[in-house]
Amino acid sequence: MIEFTFGVAYRNIAADEEITYDYCINSYGDFEWECSCGHPSCRRVHNTDFFKLPDEKLVEYLPLLDDWFLDWQRDAVSELQERLANRTAAT
């Protein structure tokens, strides 16, 4: 069986423009590293665990998760969705 993963761009990308990928999407683990890229939206400390992302990134990235990750982490994703829904309802 051949599977594909697709990247999604939020806007048009110029031919000479650098693009980035957040390694936390579809990822789980305890590896952590520091980044010194200097981009204003960089978290500076990255962790390979999707579930350790800040809430605003979790909300942004949930619709982008691959099916295999959703299946593999079904319970954790359900708990996360419930927590985020309760957080939204409380505000």
DSSP 27-62: --S--EEE-----TT--SEEES-GGGS-HHHHHHHG
63 is a domain residue = yes
State the chain's mean pLDDT as an integer: 88
- Name the domain count of the chain: 1
**Spatial separation of the C-alpha atoms in residues 67 and 89, rounded to whole Å:** 27
22 is a domain residue = no
5 is a domain residue = no
Instruction: Give the number of C-alpha atoms closer than 13 A to the C-alpha of residue 67, restricted to the C-beta side.
Output: 4
Q: How confident is the model at residue 1 (pLDDT cuts 50, 70, 90)?
A: low
Q: What is the pLDDT of residue 2?
A: 67
pLDDT tens-digit readout, 41-63: 888 988 889 999 999 999 999 99
Say if pTM beats, i.e. exceeds, 0.95: no
Between 50 and 1, the more confident residue is 50
Q: Which of 4-8, 47-51, 74-78 has the weakest average pLDDT?
A: 4-8
16 is a domain residue = no
Q: What is the pLDDT of residue 14?
A: 94
| Domain residue limits at 61 | 32-90
